[in-house]
Amino acid sequence: MAQQASLGARFIAIVVDGLIVNIIGAIVGAIIGDTVLGVSIGFIVGLVYNWYFWTQNNGQTPAKSFMGIRVVKTDGSALSDADAIIRYIGYYINTILLMLGWIWAIFDGNNQGLHDKLARTYVVRA
């Protein structure tokens, strides 16, 4: 396995990507409304954004690329469409569980949050 990314680099990347997704979501929401078929535009934009970059850009969102990190499967391979969707939904599960899914990464030997465990992913240095 490649060297694991630091939790600090991961945190900065997720915050920056979150800002990008929120800006895009606000623009799209202003244009077409807040929901599509009852699903939040923010969720849809975040899902598409992360799916695209995790599956089509070597596991690197723009912020992960800037931080020199990427997402890979635990065997080192690229994420599939299903892996990306599971990992992104895991972000919401992390938060719903009183942030414990995020905090888990601090204490986990492989720095995996619950979303990583669910999708069988690591974040490594690129």
Q: Provide, rounded to the nearest whole percent, the portion of the chain with pLDDT above 70.
A: 99
User: CA-to-CA distance for 10 and 83, rounded, in angstroms?
Assistant: 18
- Domain-wise residue ranges, the chain: 7-125
Instruction: Say how far apart CA 109 and CA 39 lie, in whole Å.
Output: 36
**Rounded CA gap, 31 and 54, in Å?**
26
Mean pLDDT of 77-87: 98
pLDDT of residue 108: 96
With 80 as the cut, is the pLDDT of residue 98 above it? yes
What is the pLDDT averaged over residues 97-102?
Answer: 95
